[in-house]
Amino acid sequence: MMAIELSSVDWHAARRATYLVKQSFRYEYPEPVRDLSHRLVVIPPERFGDQRRLRHRLLVEPDGVRYEDRKDRFGNLVVDVFAPRVSGAIEFVAEVSVERHASEPNRLLDGWLADGYLLEPSALTAADDRIQRAAEVLAGSAEWGLPLADTINDWVYQSMTYKHGVTGVRTTAAEALAIGSGVCQDYAHVMLAITRACGLPSRYVSGHLLGQGGTHAWVEVVLPTNDGTGDAIAWPFDPTNAGRGGLGYLTIAVGGDYADVAPTSGTYLSPLVGRLTTRKSVTLTELEYTTG
């Protein structure tokens, strides 16, 4: 399957794209570990808005490791892995083919707000005084809905500097904004803290952005269609890049914050710490343009 050169793509005219995602996580341990219980969130749901999973496979080495699929409360596909003993290393390799279509909004059926997490601050997105003040100013500067979401998206982009190594997976939105730096996860958390403080239902999105190395994070703001159905549209916003999502974004999972969708996490019995090595590639394999 040939890869399409990204520099040649006219994204404004593209109507359909197909991708191949390959991702691996390898844990190495200095001595055998026992009772390993691991959680993987690396395979997208079968359908997500205009996105469709065509095929997938997950390989786990060594042989004999037990694993099973389930859906969490957000509709994400979670793989639970169990191993009574791992002698030196365990590796997870996921391969997924995904297709996306342009101009098909992600419509959520009536009842979308029942869970409550879209408006409730999570552990990583609670608003402190600074965020609350920013939310009040921003809410007064733009109309509720997409105009306000656009304004918040731009504000977060301008208020943060992209920088590795200054934050971690447990850094809160308030801490990241106080530092003024972070990675895509922190940008998403800051935006979520503000949108929720402004009464805009929103959720954290974990996935891939074509042309970027690591897993990417962005935000979906969920707004009612107001067409009498009770449905809503989930609108993607990427505060890290001051833009909206497009065909080059592939969704893996959604939740209240990063903790709900961490690609890999788990526990085992051993006093020693393992070492994680990751690899990822996202290849554009098919592309169709709008005709006429």
Nearest to 208 by CA among 243, 269, 170, 249: 249
Under a CB-based contact definition with an 8 Å cutoff, are residues 126 and 173 in contact? yes
Same domain? 53 vs 140: no
Same domain? 231 vs 245: yes
pLDDT at 290: 83
Same domain? 196 vs 282: no
Same domain? 118 vs 240: yes
Is 1 within a domain? no
Same domain? 29 vs 93: yes
Same domain? 246 vs 123: yes
Mean pLDDT of 242-261: 95
Question: To the nearest whole number, what is the mean pLDDT of the chain?
Answer: 94
The span from the CA of 144 to the CA of 168, in Å, is 32
Is 141 within a domain? yes
Any idea what the CATH number is for the domain that residue 64 is in?
2.60.40.2250
What confidence tens digit (pLDDT) does each residue in 144-177 have?
999 999 999 999 999 999 999 999 999 999 999 9
Nearest to 20 by CA among 214, 287, 282: 282
Same domain? 270 vs 248: no
Same domain? 73 vs 143: no
Is residue 1's pLDDT more than 70?
Answer: no
Same domain? 92 vs 192: no
Mean pLDDT of 269-274: 90
pLDDT at 286: 93
What confidence tens digit (pLDDT) does each residue in 57-106 have?
999 999 889 999 999 999 999 999 999 999 999 999 999 999 999 877 89
Q: Which DSSP string do the residues of 211-250 spell out, in sequence order?
A: T-SS-EEEEEEEEE--SSS--EEEEEEETTTTEE--TTEE
The span from the CA of 123 to the CA of 25, in Å, is 26
Torsion-angle region of 155 (φ positive above 0: left; ψ -120 to 50: alpha; else: beta): alpha
Same domain? 111 vs 240: yes
The span from the CA of 67 to the CA of 194, in Å, is 38
Any idea what the CATH number is for the domain that residue 175 is in?
3.10.620.30
Total domains, the chain:
2
pLDDT at 265: 94
Give residue 190's domain range.
106-261
Nearest to 209 by CA among 11, 46, 1: 11
